[in-house]
Structure 1
Amino acid sequence: MDAIVRALTRRSARGRDEEDDAADEDDVRAFVGVIEKYREQPTVLDPMLGGVIEPLMDAVARASTEANENENENANAKANANACCRALDALSSVRGWKTCVRFYPNAAKYLEPAVRLLREARVRGDNTWETQRVLTSWLSILALAPFDLVSIDSAIDPHSSRSKIPSVVSDLMRECKHFLGDPSAVRDVAAQTLAKLLTRPDMSEALREFMTWSSATLRGDVNDEKEREMIFLVPGVLRALAAIYKIGSREQLLPYAEGNWDDAQYCATRLSLAKRSTMVRQLSIKLASRVGLVFMKPRVVSWRYDRGARCLQDNLSGAMQKPPTKQLTTAADEDDKCDVHMAVDDIVEICLVGLRDAETIVRWTSAKALGRISSRLPRDFGDEVVGAVLACLSVIESDSTWHGACLALAELARRGLLLPNRLVEAVPRCMDALIYDVRRGAHSIGAHVRDAAAYVCWAFARAYEPGVFEPFVDQLAPRLLMISCFDREVNCRRAASAAFQEAVGRLGKFPHGIDIVTVADYFSLGSRTRAALTVAPFICQFEEYRRSLLEHVLDTKLTHWELATRQLATKTIRALGNLDPQWIGDVGIKTVLSRATSSDLSTRHGAVLSIGEMLLVTQRAKTKLEDDCFERVADLVQSMEREKMYKGKGGEIMRGATCRLIECVFLCCDENHKIDSKATDAFVYFAEESLQCCNGDVQAAASDAIAAFTETNYASRGSHRAHCLLLRHAEIVVNDLVGVVRRGSALVLGGFPVTSLLAAKNSEDKSATLRAVITALSVATKPEEDVEMRDAETRVNATISLSELSVKLMCAECHDIDDDDIAFVSDTAIATLLGCLCDYSVDNRGDVGSWVRESAMKCFPVLVAALQMRNALAADQSQNIMTALLKQAFEKIDRIRCQALVTLVQLVRGGDAIRVRMRVQAKLTVHALSGVPDYDVLQCCLPATVETAPDASHVSTIFATLTPVLGAEAYVNAALSGWFLSCGSVGDSLVRFSTDALLRAIRRFEGLPDIVVASIIQDLCQNKHVDRVTVPALRVCDALISHGALDQAHTHAIQLIEAIRCECFSSRDISKLVTGSACLAHFVGAADSVVHESASMGLLALMANRFPRVRCAAAEHLYIALLAVAEPSRGTENAAETLSLNSWDAPPSVMKETRKIIYSLLGLDLPAFMLKASGKLRDRRADERENSTYASLVGDTGY
């Protein structure tokens, strides 16, 4: 930054040229780039402000004086000052102009030059708004010169009257008045400059003139033509007046107060602009309040509440402070005998109306205005203001009114104007505001009200003594903690926590306050889930808050309109219920059972969701429930079915909630709590019906319900029924024609226990069942031949279920599984997952095959860990897994690369297997696959743990991390295959970083170019006309040859050319054909005649393509290639000339003869298709000649 400042200030203003202007532009742009980095923490700039601002302002000051003394160099001086002002304006926008202006020079000699420079900048107009703002802010300091401005004005007439306004002041006022109508930030600076100028003791005449002008401006007629100007000018004038009343003395402004109050009232109530302009309303209220302060003498009213001395140690120790020795005022106080100007009543009324405004800034200004005015009012009048504010906190008022009233209440309390006798009314209404949440259609409003209510609580904690506020602690503390833990908005949670923390420190009356504050801090409450599931259970350890939080979740959050809030509340009630299971059994279950059939969807859904969780809580705690509790739950499912609550709006979420309830009921069944077989059949039927729902969450809940049924209900009574369910769903997953049905069956199969697989009577049937289910799932992971039947979600679910069943079989402790079945399951599972990594199917949603690949990679660590327990993982399988994963680690989709890297780290480093969406209870540990080839290479390039793994979504990181794999012979082809897909994709950053990494690797590893060429040829030959693979391979080939990484005279050049020509043959993909022509063009200039002829023949064939774009591209590439030939022959030169003289947009039939000429010039034989076409043409012409004579006509007629 210092170097940039020196460059700006040292560049001479004399003899400037265009290079100096360009250098200024570059320097300013660099300066702005540096400054913008500090925008989040601008105070960091404070130590260096002087060193940056002073040289720049010296240059501006020097330019202003030079422009005054040397008229011939004005243009250069102004250009230099303009560049410095742009840098200063950028600094002011980050740090604030009021801070920066302290470092500006304040010598009185700069006043006139600065005014003159400002006028010239305004007249110039273009690109000088930064200069105008900086100069205006500079003048706000120069206007405070401690001398009579008449003595500074060089144009003053010594014989004139002293009452005349100095010309320099008139000029400055004229410029600032102009800027008051400017829409940019210079308007605010001009208002402050005017305020500082006109409030000087020697500026009474200028102040009178400005007041007259401002009144005329504000009350002027606004027609359609002037409205555009007035919409910017009126806020500027109001801001200037408000600044004058803020800075000026009461004696100085009192003569103008009546008129300015009329102006403010007119703007606030009768001016048409006020209805559309938020700023006009806000500034009108600000001006009115400051005028009201001028009407009243400055004083500290004796009736306000004064807390007195404060000691944190006394607060925390609970020591009572002595009552203040100062007596609260009585009606006989002298302060209350003073008269209040009659306009103050109207000013207060305007502020109260402003509390109801729709805009926050107007409400906030009104609240502060009420606080300032009330601090000078008599006690009775001030109490009326408090009553009016409290009246705004009514159920019939809007959310804007509640918000404004909360802000005003906080301001009054903060200033000691809310007396303790009013707390009885204020605290309950504040508590209502803390839970203010009104639903409006598909959303709710009230977050701003709750945030403001927390601000009120914060103000209460700072304003009152512990003894005064003690009666309200038991009400307010639980309510603040409710908001801190359960509010939807993070700012409300943090605001409530700050208020609680302030109250703990200043009042010292909140039970367990220090313990709670250390846990419920700013960061822990940032996450909504963490606040509800971690912080709230900690707080519920204290009995003072437990029931309040439980009741809040039960009554408010479980009935909330938002689905996510109800779901989180269900988890919360389970976490909190473990601390008080008796309350759950006595109160919670009864309450939610009574709500379960409510007509309101939100209430009904929250109740059904929570019933199951409460049953689990009571079952774990062995809490006794009512005898008919389970019967009521069983009847509930059937009654909702009869009432058709699973159809229509909300039917799907009710199905999901009911399935979760069924799951919990099955998990709770024991000897003391049973359900009859009829209810069990109804539950199972409902869950199976829900499996056919198209909603994935409902299917997951239904599969969990069936899994709970098979694991618990029939564990002790045989698993024959579960066995039948298993076989039926195994048949559905293969044979059903509906994708949604197959999807549900594929998902549910993974939840069946091992006992259901082995429920047959003899070993042969057991083996047949096991193999049938595993085979069915394996088949379901493969895309169907019929495109209409394909369902990606079915394949994902089948992949996960196959892994789940395989892991359960491997971890089973029973000895009914023989070694052949273990080998079959192992081989099938590994082969299936490896096949899933080759799923690149696409539908109208995009690359849906990536879902299957991702799920397969997630399953690999768990499956490998389970197979290692049985020693069922072969060495070749391990190598195949690593090869497939490395290919995925280089592909183009970010999340696929991330998951591949995570899986690789787990398999190479070992450790606890990460289970994602897998219903496996056993703890599994992966042992590092140290037997795979080149294991040391994998160890060197992979991180030690998953936590320390780089973010694979950053392409610059992942390719650099895994580049050493290209030196491993066992994995280089697979890695390059995935790498090509990234290099040949359409993402700019991905292509750039991956291509650069590949070029660096080619230079790093000897022999890699040959492997790359062989890999490209292999991809083209093994994936003929598979554009997903071949198009990226062609792009990579073109890029590598263009960068000189591959040689034209490569040993495999002819094989590469033939593969490219074969891929382009009969293709209709224009982008592929254009890329193929670019690849072939690189070999036209090869020294090897075979390579040259093959490449040229391929390009000439593309010049006969049906697509004009392909023909033009092929001709252009051939032309450029021929020009690049080192020693061209006469035929080559003539061919290039022929290519340039013809338009290849013409149809191929028109350009056929031209192509023949090019074939001849290049010494190439005509291809077979041209010879054949020529022969057919000769035969057709011969027939035409034969049939065109009179003799042929006679012969045809039969004569």
Structure 2
Amino acid sequence: DAAVSALAALCSEYYMKEPGEADPAIQEELITQYLAELRNPEEMTRCGFSLALGALPGFLLKGRLQQVLTGLRAVTHTSPEDVSFAESRRDGLKAIARICQTVGVKAGAPDEAVCGENVSQIYCALLGCMDDYTTDSRGDVGTWVRKAAMTSLMDLTLLLARSQPELIEAHTCERIMCCVAQQASEKIDRFRAHAASVFLTLLHFDSPPIPHVPHRGELEKLFPRSDVASVNWSAPSQAFPRITQLLGLPTYRYHVLLGLVVSLGGLTESTIRHSTQSLFEYMKGIQSDPQALGSFSGTLLQIFEDNLLNERVSVPLLKTLDHVLTHGCFDIFTTEEDHPFAVKLLALCKKEIKNSKDIQKLLSGIAVDFPSATLACVGTVQMCAHTHLRLGAPGPHCAHGSALPRFCGMVQFPGDVRRQALLQLCLLLCHRFPLIRKTTASQVYETLLTYSDVVGADVLDEVVTVLSDTAWDAELAVVREQRNRLCDLLGVPRPQLVPQPGAC
């Protein structure tokens, strides 16, 4: 840091030929060397030279701006070879933002300043890093990148607003505000606070106002300037009740809900509790508005579809679905047979667990306790096909494991959805792992007691007897016979044995 701080003074003292003009030979040698080091296989070398480029005075960047920005954009790009280089991506973003401040804004000079010819490329690089969720042994190192991206987006946008606001296009401003709103609804407290600060700074900036902010009028009412200093956005109890209000604004709904979903799957008890409570409060308020409830459910399904097999999102999303289903948030849909929401949700759940047969993946997971308010269909036992479980103990939280409560909860929807959900549960009764079979039986037992209309009264006693009395950890041949008996009683077709490991 000290060397970077001294670089500008050094360059101004020794590398300037005339006032404001660089020595061409030195400029060529220095820029070429610094850009070459951005491709160094050592991450710290990339960091140092990225920051060095960001510290260069304007006269050394003159005529070489595009070349420098291209090199730094490459540093911020994630590739399989350097996916763990989060710090170099962070420093590349910082350098881009600092260079923009150094060269300023000037029309028609892409090699000397920020202008219409290069601003979209700069924004593209910064916005692309908002999706960096890289994790390694240090944890979510992508937060370093996303934080730098947010700060850089704010600095660039404020710079443009002061000088040439017409360079801020509507779709760019919308994407910035939505991405930052998503980060302001996620689970890491200090990071959420930084995102909220950026969001509110952009919203309330008035010298002049940032153009094209979506729903500006509604946002100013939801987040008045007088509340900016008084709200502690790092406190879940203060942050989530406020950020969930954005779910009512169509432009922000997808991104805020995506952030809330991730928060619901967090590990911090206060984050889980307050994000869940805030989501329930919002959904409670739209129960009498079929259009709003339909839009919300459609957005939830779209997030699921966009993130199939992406366990960072799909796992907490399944948990979110479990919460909203078991708390009756979609009870209005149960009055219609084969409601489109239920049909699509079932299809997505089946896709999420399909072909999930990797042994190492099945044996891994993260223990998650479900809130005590969850209904009986969730039960005290969490099934997880990604790992071994103990009955009666919190299970590892993983995609396959989260699917069982979903199938249990979906038997409340009448029609073919119910039959398909029961069929999926019957398939799991013959899973290759004995503990999976035992837990499935326990969940189905509790589900049938919760939703008494699922099975006819004439066979209910026999069904629960089979579920409770069968030794589900016995040999598959024995278990399969009892499972098939259940299929007959439940009125679903018997699954056919296929020559695949772990299948029924």
- Asked if TM exceeds 0.5, the reply is yes
| CA distance in 2: counterparts of 1:1084 and 1:940, whole angstroms | 41
Assess if the C-alpha contact under 8 Å between 2:438 and 2:473 holds in 1: yes
Classify 1:929/1:1112 alpha carbon distance in 2 versus 1 (closer, same or farther; 3 Å).
farther
> What do the CA deviations read for 1:1051-1107 (whole angstroms, capped 9, x no partner)?
31011011112112233334222321011101124322x111121122222233333
Q: 1:1052 aligns to what SS in structure 2?
A: helix
Assess if the C-alpha contact under 8 Å between 1:905 and 1:946 holds in 2: no
Classify 1:1146/1:803 alpha carbon distance in 2 versus 1 (closer, same or farther; 3 Å).
farther
Q: Which AA in structure 2 matches 1:1116?
A: S
| CA distance in 2: counterparts of 1:719 and 1:1051, whole angstroms | 68
Match of 2:429 in 1: 1103
- Match 2:482 to one of 1140, 1146, 1154: 1154
Whether 1:845 and 2:138 are equivalent positions in the alignment is: yes
Report the alpha carbon displacement of residue 712 of structure 1 after superposing the two structures with TM: 3.6
> What do the CA deviations read for 1:371-405 (whole angstroms, capped 9, x no partner)?
xxxxxxxxxxxxxxxxxxxxxxxxxxxxxxxxxxx
Match of 1:631 in 2: none
Assess if the C-alpha contact under 8 Å between 2:7 and 2:52 holds in 1: yes
Assess if the C-alpha contact under 8 Å between 1:837 and 1:856 holds in 2: yes
Report the alpha carbon displacement of residue 985 of structure 1 after superposing the two structures with TM: 1.6
Assess if the C-alpha contact under 8 Å between 1:941 and 1:962 holds in 2: no
Match of 2:381 in 1: none
Assess if the C-alpha contact under 8 Å between 2:263 and 2:272 holds in 1: yes
Q: 1:803 aligns to what SS in structure 2?
A: helix
Match of 1:1118 in 2: 444
Report the alpha carbon displacement of residue 1126 of structure 1 after superposing the two structures with TM: 2.1
> What do the CA deviations read for 1:138-161 (whole angstroms, capped 9, x no partner)?
xxxxxxxxxxxxxxxxxxxxxxxx
Match of 1:739 in 2: 43
Q: 1:1066 aligns to what SS in structure 2?
A: coil
Q: Which AA in structure 1 matches 2:131?
A: C
Whether 1:751 and 2:81 are equivalent positions in the alignment is: no
| CA distance in 1: counterparts of 2:168 and 2:34, whole angstroms | 29
Assess if the C-alpha contact under 8 Å between 1:861 and 1:907 holds in 2: yes
Q: Which AA in structure 2 matches 1:1013?
A: S
Q: Which AA in structure 2 matches 1:780?
A: V
Classify 1:757/1:1028 alpha carbon distance in 2 versus 1 (closer, same or farther; 3 Å).
same
Assess if the C-alpha contact under 8 Å between 2:160 and 2:168 holds in 1: yes
- Match 2:151 to one of 823, 840, 858: 858
Q: Which AA in structure 2 matches 1:837?
A: M
Report the alpha carbon displacement of residue 983 of structure 1 after superposing the two structures with TM: 1.6
Report the alpha carbon displacement of residue 753 of structure 1 after superposing the two structures with TM: 2.2
Q: 2:455 aligns to what SS in structure 1?
A: coil
Whether 1:827 and 2:153 are equivalent positions in the alignment is: no
| CA distance in 1: counterparts of 2:314 and 2:276, whole angstroms | 17
| CA distance in 2: counterparts of 1:973 and 1:1061, whole angstroms | 23
Which gives a bigger RCO, structure 1 or 2 (Cα 8 Å, sep 6+)?
Answer: 2
Assess if the C-alpha contact under 8 Å between 2:301 and 2:344 holds in 1: yes
Count of residues in correspondence between the two structures: 449
| CA distance in 2: counterparts of 1:1078 and 1:816, whole angstroms | 59
Match of 1:1032 in 2: 316
Q: 1:933 aligns to what SS in structure 2?
A: coil
| CA distance in 2: counterparts of 1:753 and 1:949, whole angstroms | 39
Q: 2:473 aligns to what SS in structure 1?
A: coil
Assess if the C-alpha contact under 8 Å between 2:105 and 2:114 holds in 1: no
Match of 2:455 in 1: 1128
4+ residue runs over 6 A deviation: 818-821
Whether 1:783 and 2:78 are equivalent positions in the alignment is: yes
Whether 1:795 and 2:89 are equivalent positions in the alignment is: yes
Whether 1:808 and 2:134 are equivalent positions in the alignment is: no
Classify 1:1109/1:986 alpha carbon distance in 2 versus 1 (closer, same or farther; 3 Å).
farther
Whether 1:1093 and 2:416 are equivalent positions in the alignment is: no
Q: 1:823 aligns to what SS in structure 2?
A: coil
Whether 1:1045 and 2:329 are equivalent positions in the alignment is: yes
| CA distance in 1: counterparts of 2:13 and 2:295, whole angstroms | 57
Match of 1:32 in 2: none
> What do the CA deviations read for 1:833-876 (whole angstroms, capped 9, x no partner)?
21111110001000000111111112222100222313321111
| CA distance in 1: counterparts of 2:406 and 2:40, whole angstroms | 48
Q: 1:1151 aligns to what SS in structure 2?
A: helix
Report the alpha carbon displacement of residue 1149 of structure 1 after superposing the two structures with TM: 4.9
Q: Which AA in structure 2 matches 1:988?
A: E
Classify 1:816/1:1015 alpha carbon distance in 2 versus 1 (closer, same or farther; 3 Å).
closer
> What do the CA deviations read for 1:648-668 (whole angstroms, capped 9, x no partner)?
xxxxxxxxxxxxxxxxxxxxx
> What do the CA deviations read for 1:585-616 (whole angstroms, capped 9, x no partner)?
xxxxxxxxxxxxxxxxxxxxxxxxxxxxxxxx
Assess if the C-alpha contact under 8 Å between 1:1119 and 1:1136 holds in 2: yes
| CA distance in 2: counterparts of 1:815 and 1:1061, whole angstroms | 54
Classify 1:1027/1:1173 alpha carbon distance in 2 versus 1 (closer, same or farther; 3 Å).
closer
Match of 1:1084 in 2: 411
| CA distance in 2: counterparts of 1:1156 and 1:1059, whole angstroms | 25
Which residues in structure 2 correspond to 1:409-448 (within 5 Å)?
none
Q: Which AA in structure 1 matches 2:36?
A: E
Assess if the C-alpha contact under 8 Å between 1:732 and 1:745 holds in 2: yes
Match of 1:289 in 2: none
Which residues in structure 2 correspond to 1:946-1025 (within 5 Å)?
948-1005=229-286, 1006=289, 1007-1025=291-309
Classify 1:811/1:1042 alpha carbon distance in 2 versus 1 (closer, same or farther; 3 Å).
same
| CA distance in 2: counterparts of 1:1076 and 1:1028, whole angstroms | 15
Assess if the C-alpha contact under 8 Å between 2:169 and 2:212 holds in 1: no
Q: Which runs of 5+ in 2 are unaligned?
A: 357-361, 363-385, 388-396
| CA distance in 1: counterparts of 2:226 and 2:314, whole angstroms | 36
**Higher relative helix content:** 1
Classify 1:841/1:1127 alpha carbon distance in 2 versus 1 (closer, same or farther; 3 Å).
closer
Match of 2:186 in 1: 891
Q: Which runs of 5+ in 1 are unaligned?
A: 1-699, 759-765, 912-924, 1178-1199
| CA distance in 2: counterparts of 1:1001 and 1:1061, whole angstroms | 28
Assess if the C-alpha contact under 8 Å between 2:265 and 2:272 holds in 1: yes
Q: 1:1084 aligns to what SS in structure 2?
A: helix
Match of 1:1142 in 2: 470
Q: Which AA in structure 2 matches 1:1136?
A: V
Match of 1:725 in 2: 30
Match of 1:880 in 2: 175
| CA distance in 1: counterparts of 2:479 and 2:89, whole angstroms | 52
Match of 2:367 in 1: none
Q: Which AA in structure 2 matches 1:746?
A: S
Assess if the C-alpha contact under 8 Å between 2:434 and 2:473 holds in 1: yes
Q: Which AA in structure 2 matches 1:1059?
A: L
| CA distance in 1: counterparts of 2:428 and 2:134, whole angstroms | 30
Report the alpha carbon displacement of residue 974 of structure 1 after superposing the two structures with TM: 0.9
Assess if the C-alpha contact under 8 Å between 2:484 and 2:494 holds in 1: yes
> What do the CA deviations read for 1:404-446 (whole angstroms, capped 9, x no partner)?
xxxxxxxxxxxxxxxxxxxxxxxxxxxxxxxxxxxxxxxxxxx
Assess if the C-alpha contact under 8 Å between 2:435 and 2:473 holds in 1: yes
| CA distance in 2: counterparts of 1:799 and 1:986, whole angstroms | 29
Q: 2:133 aligns to what SS in structure 1?
A: coil
| CA distance in 2: counterparts of 1:712 and 1:1108, whole angstroms | 75
Classify 1:892/1:883 alpha carbon distance in 2 versus 1 (closer, same or farther; 3 Å).
same
Assess if the C-alpha contact under 8 Å between 2:110 and 2:117 holds in 1: no
Percent of pairs identical after alignment? 26
CA RMSD of aligned residues (A): 2.7
| CA distance in 2: counterparts of 1:817 and 1:1084, whole angstroms | 60
Report the alpha carbon displacement of residue 1009 of structure 1 after superposing the two structures with TM: 3.2
Report the alpha carbon displacement of residue 959 of structure 1 after superposing the two structures with TM: 1.6
| CA distance in 1: counterparts of 2:218 and 2:31, whole angstroms | 45
Assess if the C-alpha contact under 8 Å between 1:784 and 1:790 holds in 2: no
> What do the CA deviations read for 1:218-267 (whole angstroms, capped 9, x no partner)?
xxxxxxxxxxxxxxxxxxxxxxxxxxxxxxxxxxxxxxxxxxxxxxxxxx
